[in-house]
Structure 1
Amino acid sequence: MTEPKIQTAAPDQLLPMPEDWQRALAVVAHPDDLEYGCSAAIAGWTDGGRQVTYVLATRGEAGIDTLEPAKCAPLREQEQRASAAVVGVDTVEFLDHKDGVIEYGTALRRDIAAAIRRHRPELVITLNHRDTWGGVAWNTPDHVAVGRATLDAAADAGNRWIFPELTEQGLEPWNGVRWVAVAGSSSPTHAVDATPGIERAVHSLLEHRTYIEVLTDEDPETYCRSFLTGNVEAMAERFGGTPAVPFELFSR
């Protein structure tokens, strides 16, 4: 087996993300993970005619202290679907793992591999799978479990002898995943120009109003705009002066 060739950039500089693909699958733990992480990039991709599908491991039912899970789950699902529509994503699926206690393991890998087989993406997107966001900013166990399982499931989806029950269910192996892109990584390698999609990214995050209003006392739109624009502008120095959404790209 030959090792894949990965283009390298000058130290600290980010390369443009690959563009020779048509279908992407974004797999994350919770409603709002993609909106905080990379929706400006997704808006630009869908503008260009690419298809992006969302798969969420949970419905975010444990995310709001003042709202019991049975009432929180349908509300957060509704907000996620509205949020996805803002950036041109029509298909949003939920795997119904339990929010806050997602377990890394074969059950999670199987569910994500099944989603990959259903949607047959060339690019898979997930969120930071490492213990921290960099330094001592601790990540959540849900993000770690889903990110790691997604990286593994990209290979599982192409092996007919792993989870053979999926083939029996009519989900044929898909070995067409070429990259897994990790948003929110402290070690990004590539980036996407955020300029075309940043305004819709702000409004996409704003659709999670119930969650945001509990999270901050700041005006929700001011909060969303300052958070997202601050993040993409912080990457400009590493991407030719252009505000950017960064990814850590793993080739397959």
Structure 2
Amino acid sequence: MTEPTITQLQPMPEDWQRALAVVAHPDDLEYGCSAAIAAWTDAGREVAYVLASRGEAGIDTLEPAKCGPLREQEQRASAAVVGVSTVEFLDHKDGVIEYGLALRRDIAAAIRRHRPELVITLNHRDTWGGVAWNTPDHVAVGRATLDAAGDAGNRWIFPELTEQGLEPWNGVRWVAVAGSSSPTHAVDATPGMERAVRSLLEHRAYIEALTTEDPETYARTFLTGVAEQTAERFGGTPAVAFELFSR
């Protein structure tokens, strides 16, 4: 019996200079795609982060008023490991982020501020590969980011942004979704893997609340495991996968 053909992933486009990553929580990018971000910043590309919340509801043993500032601090340190110095927070409430006009407007404003060619977000579908239920925050932010990429270029959607000095930006060429069950493209994870592990380790308070496993063992096992699974569809090279939507 003939073995089924595995659809190979294509390399991500490289003809861009600025990217904006928009996710719901601190650590979303570190679990999803920081090895790719490290490779991009190494190549001289600019990447900025925008987070809808500060992750203040993410640690059961730590009240939100203390958790939010701690997770913000961990996120800034984590971003610096992979060459990202701009980290912004939209201050939507962790755990109850709502898809809608307010979120679309905030993300469209961020896109107008940063004027990226590539926008990155996290899995916006109901499940992770049909196996685990996704969180409402991920779904809301991922979907709103895909929509806001178009909103940012239309001066008649959210005209108040123009009044605030944020001129329309119709230069988004792609939106790349990390953690998708339907990936189309990938980036070699090998050059950025060690920094990706160190970047995830900066979320130590979160990891220690999540597992009793040694944090470095946990981070390395998770990230290398995902990259090696992706290698089967990327010519044997460990990789970070994305579902790429062209605009």
**Shorter-chain TM-score range:** over 0.9
Alpha-carbon RMSD: 0.7
1:40 maps onto 2:32 in alignment: no
Aligned counterpart, 1:115: 110
2:13 to 11, 18, 36: 18
Runs of 4+ in 1 over 2 A off after TM superposition: none
1:93 maps onto 2:72 in alignment: no
Deviations along 1:145-180, one digit per CA (max 9) or x if unpaired, are 000000000000000000000000000000000000
The one-letter amino acid of 2:163's match is: E
1:244 maps onto 2:230 in alignment: no
The one-letter amino acid of 2:141's match is: V
2:213 to 205, 213, 218: 218
Question: SS of the counterpart of 2:49?
Answer: strand
- Is 234-243 or 25-34 further displaced after alignment? 234-243
1:55 maps onto 2:84 in alignment: no
The one-letter amino acid of 1:227's match is: F
Per-residue deviation, 1:100: 0.1
Deviations along 1:17-38, one digit per CA (max 9) or x if unpaired, are 0000000000000000000000
**Partners of 2:77 and 2:202 within 8 A in 1:** yes
- How many pairs align? 243
Aligned counterpart, 2:177: 182
Gap runs ≥5 in structure 2: none
The one-letter amino acid of 1:139's match is: N
CA distance in 2, matches of 1:190, 1:25: 18
Structure 2 length as normaliser, TM-score? 0.98
Deviations along 1:67-102, one digit per CA (max 9) or x if unpaired, are 000000000000000000000000000000000000
The one-letter amino acid of 2:29's match is: L
Structure 1 length as normaliser, TM-score? 0.96
Deviations along 1:166-221, one digit per CA (max 9) or x if unpaired, are 00000000000000000000000000000000000000000000000010000000
CA distance in 2, matches of 1:73, 1:91: 18
1:84 maps onto 2:79 in alignment: yes
**Partners of 2:6 and 2:233 within 8 A in 1:** no
Per-residue deviation, 1:136: 2.9
Gap runs ≥5 in structure 1: 1-9
Aligned counterpart, 1:141: 136
